[in-house]
Structure formats: C-alpha cells, structure tokens
Amino acid sequence: MAKREGLEVSVAVGDAAMLSDADVVSAYPITPQTHIVEHLAELVANGELKAAYIPVESEHSAMSACIGASAVGARTFTATAAQGLELMHEVLYVASAMRFPMVMTVANRALSAPISIWGDHSDAMAVRDTGWIQIFVENGQEAVDNVICGFRIGEDKRVLLPVMIHLDGFALTHVIEPIELPDKKDVDQFLPPFKYPLPLDPEKPVTMGALGSPFIYTEVKWGQEINLEKAKSVTLEVWQEFDKLFGRKYSPIEQYRTEGAKTLLLTMGSYSETAMVAVDKMRGDGKEVGLLKLRLWRPFPYEELREVVKDADTLIVLDRAISFGGPGGPVCSEIKAALYEEKKRPRIIGFVGGLGGRDISMAGFEEIVNRGIEIARTGSEREFEIYGVRE
Amino acid sequence: MMATAVHGPGVITELEPFAPGHRACSGCGEALAVRLAAKAIGNNAIIVNATGCMEVVASPFPYTSWRIPWIHTLFENAAAVASGAEAGLKALEKKGKRPERNIKVVALAGDGGTSDIGLQALSGALERGHDFVYICLDNEAYMNTGIQRSSATPYGASTTTSPAGKESLGQVTWKKNLPAIAVAHDIPYVATACPSYHRDLMRKVTKAVETPGPAYIHILSVCPTGWRCATDDAIKVGRLAVRTGIFPLYEVTNGQYKMSLSLTKLEPVENYLKTQGRFRHLTEDTIKEIQERVTREYNKLVELAGKPGGETSSE
C-alpha cells in the first residue's frame, strides 16, 4: 500500500520517472530544475533506476538526445526550465512533428533579461505552439501523478506525442509536501511497456525526417493538428483510469467553489493553491466568487471552458507572462477567443501578475478579484493590468 | 556470405545501403563519399543525418535513398541525436527490451554542420565517449544554401559570403582544423579520407565502425558546383588536394598519428588551385603564401607521425 510521506517535489518527480521505468534520461542542469535531474542521476548511479543518464552539454542537445532515444524505442525523460526550454525551442517542434513520445517536466521560471531564477510562466508561454501536450500542475502530488499519466498518454498509439508537465519553479520544485508515491506494481499495471510502432531498427529500416515539399507539408501539419486535438479524449480516458486505480481525479479545468458564483477567477499552476484560500475567505464574506484551475493547456479544453463559465458574469484571468505589445496575458487572450462566439459569456478581465517570482498573497488575490469586478462595472483604459506593479 | 563483385584491383562489396537515384548534382564527390562509406558501414547500422546537401538529396518525401534506418532532425544536432540513439539502444539491450545486435550509430554532417553550428554537440558527444562514428562530409562551404563560407572554407576561396573583390581575396581565414579538434578529445580513432582514395576511405570507415567508443572521420568531398570545377573532375581534384598536401590523408589511433600515403614530394599547390574557379583570382603572392602554409602544416603532421608515410596505399 502506497503511503504518504514528506518529500521534496523535485525528488518525487524523479521518483515518478523511476516508477515509470524510464530507459533514458538526458538533461542539462538549470535552476530550478536541478534537484529533479540530480535525483535521477543518483537513482541511476545507485542502480535503482535502470537507465542511461546522458549528461549532455546543452539543452539543445538534451532534447536532441531525447529524440534519438525515443526513435530507437526507449522511454525517455528530461527536465528543464526557462532559458533551457528556449534553447531547445526548435527541437521541441521536431519532437512533436516526428511523433516521439517522452515526458519533460518544466520547472517554470522567468525568462532573461534581466536574469531571474524565479518563477513565472514566460517560458511555458513561449513554447505554447510547439505541438506538445501541456499540463500545468498545482502541487507535488499532481506533478508525480501526471508524470506517470504523461507517459501513458503520450505513448498511446492514438497519440504518440511528447508531453510537457509544467510545475512552478521553487514554489513547487523546492518545497516539501506530503506526497503519496504509487507502488511500483500498480504503476506497472497502469503503464504498459513502451512499444514504439516503427523504431529505428536495421531489421526493418525506416527513413525518418524526410524533406517535406510544399505538396505534403500542409497535410503533415494538418495531421499533427488533428492528432493533438484527439489527444484530449485519450488524456481524459487516462485520467479516469488513473482515478480508478489510484483514487485521484484530474480534469482539464478544475472547479473550486464555483456553484452559484457570479465572479470566477482563473489561475494555473501553484497559484491555484493560494487562490483557493482567498476564495474561501471571500465566500466567508458572502461574495459569490469561485475558482477555475486550468490544468490542460494543450490541447486546449474549449468545451469544458465554455461549460464552466456559462453562468458567470465576470471571468478574471491571471496570467504569469506578457505577450508584449499585444493582448497582455496569452492565456486571457486565448480565453477571450474561445468564448467570443458564445451567445452568453462573462466579461473577461485580464491581469498579469507574479512575474519573476513575485508572490501574490491571499490578500492579493482578493484585491485582484475586487479590482476585476470594478473594471467589469466601470471599464478600464488598459487592455490588461499588472497586479502590484510600481509605476 | 557477403555478395561481392570484382572491382578494380580489389574486391568491393556489392552492398549499397545508399541507393542510386538520389538528387545530388552531377559529379558530386560527397554523394560518392557517402556511397563508399555506406558500403563500409554495412546494414547493421543507424544513420543520423544533419541538415545539409546529403539530407536534401537523399530524402525528398516520398523517396529515400537509404536502405538502412535513417533519421534527420535538425542542422546542428546530429551528434546529440546519435548520442541519444546509442544510449537508448544500449539501455534497451541491457534491460532485455531489445536483442543485443551490436548496431552501430553513424552520424553524417557537412562541414558547416560540424565545424560551425554543430561543433558544440560534436564536442559533447566525443567527450562523453558514446560508441558511435561521426563522419564530416567536408565540401568546404554551405553548398546546400548556395556556396556561403564556413570555417572549413580554405584561405583565398571565393564564396557568396566571402567573395573576392578589390578589397578582399575571398576567404581571409585559414581552414579550421577539425581533425585536430577531434584528436584533442582523446578519442580512440580519428582519420581523414577522400573518395579519390576509395579503398583507403572504406578501410578507415570500417575501422571506425569496429572501434569501440567515438570515432571521427573527416572526408574531403569535392563539390564541382561550389568549387567551380568540371563535373568529371571530382576524383582528379580530390587526388590533387591530397598530393599537394592541402588535404593530407592520415589516421590517429589512440593518439598515434600515421600518414596514410608515402608522398616523397608534394606537388605544388598551384596544380590544385588552378583546377577550380573559386581560386582563379588568386595572385602569385597569395599562392606563395598558401604554399608556405601548406608545406609547414604538412611537415608538422609528418613530424607527429614520426615518419613521412605509412604503408603505400593504392588509389
């Protein structure tokens, strides 16, 4: 029987990759991802994880080596953050377009300049369109569970795509939380061995990564789009089965105290935890406020979003990244687009906050909600506001 | 039993993992280098190709020239993808998930993909000691994109981004010495080769494949399109590159240098330079400067090898 114990989230994420029986780990150290890969290197060194650990010379090579390993049929894991994710940017597109399943945890961190090792979602938003399945988690348990689910989702023959698990740098990676690590035998039952349909194999030669002329490129991209859209139903299926076996439910958008809520706040990642406390406080004060936690970022859960906001008057979206010179928060922008055609939709108010590791306290979330309600009533001169900025 | 046919002075396998019908320019020395290398590599291998001429000409979907497993992803990462494939195979075999078949991973990349944009990935893979072969197909410029200079372009060559003009003699830097950089990684095997010496090339590739750990082979590949020479001259020009000492053939086994040919006297570099339009603007003074440098560099190599040449190799 699996037991709950206090574990550093990074260590637990490494353990999840071990429980998933990863064959290859290829990684380059970057704060705040380091504890994940250090732990994996240790597990390999001690023989607890039977895997090849490739200590590559850059993140570009980390992702490239992951592709090579996945192409020969190895279950592959890596982790990175911020500049590292950006350095592997072009390789990310290749991993998804060439249909190589693997799991990568991103310890979300702000992008330079100025250099900041602290958390926000700039790195995640910069890789939004790379064709990966992307899941945001809000605590250590979710990180562990979704690493295991990630392999199962990505390796499903209907999917065959890489999966990115976003967990906030420091706020999640470096904290000790009560976490239940599943038993190995249960994981083995849940996660069948990886069988890539056509790996690189001299017994059955294949050509991978051929030149795509204009007559075929569009069709390849269309195929990729259809495939990623379909990955949603597989993701739901896998989460349901995970729930049956392990008793923990996951959904694309989780609702917290949304019954009868006229105002909804939407957050991603670890901020959802503080936001829940803020919602409790506001509910206690008699305010009809609820929380939406967006977990499945790609493929984007359009139906689920439309369903959960239909009775609200105001939807306040908190982004942790800026689309400069554009609509402000990329998440808010997408949500506006997703709801534009709806006959009945809430006013959508965008905030950007928590950049470069700046905390938002419980009182801060309350302030954001109050200001959002005020803007919904009176309007604002700006497309979005940055919470707490000193102008 | 390996199928063979009588060919020239020796016997060369009929095996053609790199099939005819690819779209290389006529007279391409690089396609010939790949064909010969592929014969030596054999069927029990995985090819990791960087972006470049050989990737483009060999894989226009839905065609492929490769009869053995082949993967191309990006320009600068062939060594890194090869690292992952090699480590993946080893891990799967160790865990009993794949049968042990001693499959060799071979990376192919051009001079730009090796000496410029891919140098970091190559250095990393050599340093980590992956059991693989890296072959640099050096045609001395970015030919695939239209003859732009690379760090492997020789001094004085006119390219589209190092054009000769009133104020410039063309490429103003000396060719980066990639084999020396490979040797500096203390890997078990490094060699230079040229398809003009096809048996020497195949022997070296075979040796590289049989060597456990990283092996690096640098192949000079004459490019009639970019060098502006006759399309039926690739073999001749390659031979002159070797005989003038501009591109010496040698191998370095566990740090020990050995010259591949006994050249008692080098031909003047001018004999080589005058075969190609990219050098046509060179003045006597520049040719003299090149001659002095080539002689000096060649003598350094001979000194490293301890004697002027190893066994006499047939051409």
For residue range A262-310, list pLDDT tens digits in order.
Answer: 999 999 999 999 999 999 999 999 999 999 999 999 999 999 999 999 9
Q: Write the burial class of residue B312 (CB in 10 Å: 0-12 exposed, 13-18 middle, 19+ buried).
A: exposed
Whether B48 sits inside 8 A of A68 (CB atoms) is yes
Last residue of a domain, one of A209, A227, A246: A246
Q: Is the pLDDT of residue B8 over 80?
A: no
DSSP H stretches of helix in chain A: 9-19, 34-45, 59-71, 82-87, 89-97, 122-126, 140-155, 184-190, 214-246, 271-284, 302-309, 330-339, 362-378
CA dihedral B246, B251, B254, B256 (to 10 degrees): -70
pLDDT at B1: 47
Rama region for B170: left / alpha / beta (φ>0; ψ in -120 to 50; rest): left
Question: Is A47 in the B-facing interface, judged by CB distances under 8 Å?
Answer: no
Cross-strand partners of A316 = A265, A349
∠ CA A104-A106-A108 to the nearest 5 degrees? 170
Residue A221 falls inside a structural domain: yes
Q: Which residues of A touch B101 (CB under 8 A)?
A: 202
pLDDT at A20: 98
Residue-number span of the structural domain to which A194 is assigned:
4-246
Higher pLDDT: A205 or B11? It is A205
Whether B80 sits inside 8 A of A60 (CB atoms) is yes
Interface probe with A: pick from B92, B101, B209, most Cβ of A within 10 Å: B92
The verdict on A61 and A90 lying in the same domain is yes
Q: Which residues of B touch A57 (CB under 8 A)?
A: 120-121, 123-124, 127
Question: Is B72 in the A-facing interface, judged by CB distances under 8 Å?
Answer: yes
Q: Is the pLDDT of residue B310 over 50?
A: no
CB atoms within 10 A of CB B186: 12
Whether A23 sits inside 8 A of B97 (CB atoms) is yes
The verdict on A190 and A291 lying in the same domain is no
Tell me the per-residue pLDDT of A303-337, one tens digit each, with 9 for 90 and over. 999 999 999 999 999 999 999 999 889 999 999 99
Cross-strand partners of B46 = B105
Share of chain A above pLDDT 70, in %: 100
The verdict on A241 and A270 lying in the same domain is no
Chain mean pLDDT for chain A: 97
pLDDT at B61: 95
pLDDT at B314: 44
pLDDT at B308: 61
Q: Which residues of A touch B103 (CB under 8 A)?
A: 202
Closest by CA position to A161, among listed A216, A117, A100: A100
Closest by CA position to A252, among listed A300, A206, A203: A300
Cross-strand partners of A54 = A26
The model's confidence at residue B4, banded by pLDDT at 50, 70 and 90, is low
The verdict on A265 and A372 lying in the same domain is yes
What is the arithmetic mean of pLDDT over B59-80? 97
DSSP string covering B19-48: -S---PPTT-HHHHHHHHHHHHH-SSEEEE
What is the arithmetic mean of pLDDT over B284-310? 91
Under 8 Å CB pairs connecting chains A and B tally to: 168
pLDDT at A2: 84
CB atoms within 10 A of CB B131: 16
Interface probe with B: pick from A94, A200, A219, most Cβ of B within 10 Å: A200
Q: Is the pLDDT of residue A237 over 50?
A: yes
Q: Write the burial class of residue B270 (CB in 10 Å: 0-12 exposed, 13-18 middle, 19+ buried).
A: middle
The verdict on A206 and A112 lying in the same domain is yes
Distance, in Å, from the CA atom of B295 to the CA atom of B246, rounded to the nearest integer, reads: 8
The model's confidence at residue B315, banded by pLDDT at 50, 70 and 90, is very low
Residue A195 falls inside a structural domain: yes
A67: distance to nearest CA of chain B, Å? 6
Three-class secondary structure of residue B66 per DSSP: strand
Q: Is the pLDDT of residue B10 over 70?
A: no
Last residue of a domain, one of A246, A271, A304: A246
The verdict on A242 and A273 lying in the same domain is no
A354: distance to nearest CA of chain B, Å? 35
Tell me the per-residue pLDDT of A80-108, one tens digit each, with 9 for 90 and over. 999 999 999 999 999 999 999 999 999 99
User: Cα dist. B27→B33, B153, B224, B232, B262 in Å?
Assistant: 12, 20, 6, 6, 28
User: Cα dist. B111→A229, B122, B256, B285 in Å?
Assistant: 40, 12, 24, 28
Number of domains, chain A = 2
Tell me the per-residue pLDDT of A160-188, one tens digit each, with 9 for 90 and over. 999 999 999 999 999 999 999 999 999 99
Residue A125 falls inside a structural domain: yes
DSSP string covering A252-301: SEEEES-TT-SEEEEE-TTHHHHHHHHHHHHHHTT--EEEEEE-EEES--
Instruction: Give the domains, in start order, of chain B with CATH numbers.
Output: 4-305 (3.40.50.970)
Closest by CA position to B20, among listed B10, B35, B9, B8: B35
Q: Are A319 and A265 in contact (CB under 8 A)?
A: no
Q: Are strands B132-138 and B164-165 parallel, antiparallel or unpaired?
A: unpaired
What is the arithmetic mean of pLDDT over B57-79? 97
Facing residue for B121 by CB, picked from A52, A61, A213: A61
Share of chain A above pLDDT 90, in %: 97
The verdict on A238 and A356 lying in the same domain is no
Facing residue for A208 by CB, picked from B70, B77, B128: B70
Tell me the per-residue pLDDT of B236-259, one tens digit each, with 9 for 90 and over. 999 999 999 999 999 999 999 999
pLDDT at B3: 55
The verdict on A189 and A261 lying in the same domain is no
What is the arithmetic mean of pLDDT over B26-54? 98
Q: Are A293 and A138 in contact (CB under 8 A)?
A: yes
The verdict on A192 and A321 lying in the same domain is no
Q: Is the pLDDT of residue B175 over 50?
A: yes
Interface probe with A: pick from B15, B83, B130, B185, most Cβ of A within 10 Å: B83
Q: Which residues of A touch B124 (CB under 8 A)?
A: 56-58, 61
Question: Is B16 in the A-facing interface, judged by CB distances under 8 Å?
Answer: no
Whether B88 sits inside 8 A of A71 (CB atoms) is yes
pLDDT at A91: 98
Whether B73 sits inside 8 A of A64 (CB atoms) is yes
The model's confidence at residue B9, banded by pLDDT at 50, 70 and 90, is low
Look-up of token digits 């690739």? B234
Last residue of a domain, one of A211, A246, A281: A246
What is the arithmetic mean of pLDDT over B54-62? 96
What radius of gyration do chain B's Cα atoms show? 19
Residue A391 falls inside a structural domain: no
Q: Are B240 and B271 in contact (CB under 8 A)?
A: yes
The verdict on A191 and A225 lying in the same domain is yes
Three-class secondary structure of residue A80 per DSSP: strand
The model's confidence at residue B301, banded by pLDDT at 50, 70 and 90, is very high
What is the arithmetic mean of pLDDT over A236-256? 98
Q: Is the pLDDT of residue B37 over 80?
A: yes
Q: Is the pLDDT of residue B309 over 70?
A: no
Residue A104 falls inside a structural domain: yes
What radius of gyration do chain A's Cα atoms show? 21
The model's confidence at residue B16, banded by pLDDT at 50, 70 and 90, is very high
The CATH code of the domain that includes A216 is 3.40.50.970
Distance, in Å, from the CA atom of A243 to the CA atom of B29, rounded to the nearest integer, reads: 60
Residue A38 falls inside a structural domain: yes
DSSP annotation of B142 reads B
pLDDT at B11: 78
Q: Is the pLDDT of residue A40 over 90?
A: yes
Chain mean pLDDT for chain B: 95
DSSP string covering A231-242: HHHHHHHHHHHH
Q: Are B135 and B89 in contact (CB under 8 A)?
A: no
The verdict on A222 and A320 lying in the same domain is no
The CATH code of the domain that includes A273 is 3.40.50.920
Q: Is the pLDDT of residue B311 over 90?
A: no
Whether B92 sits inside 8 A of A201 (CB atoms) is no
Q: Is the pLDDT of residue B313 over 90?
A: no
Cross-strand partners of B74 = none
The verdict on A87 and A176 lying in the same domain is yes
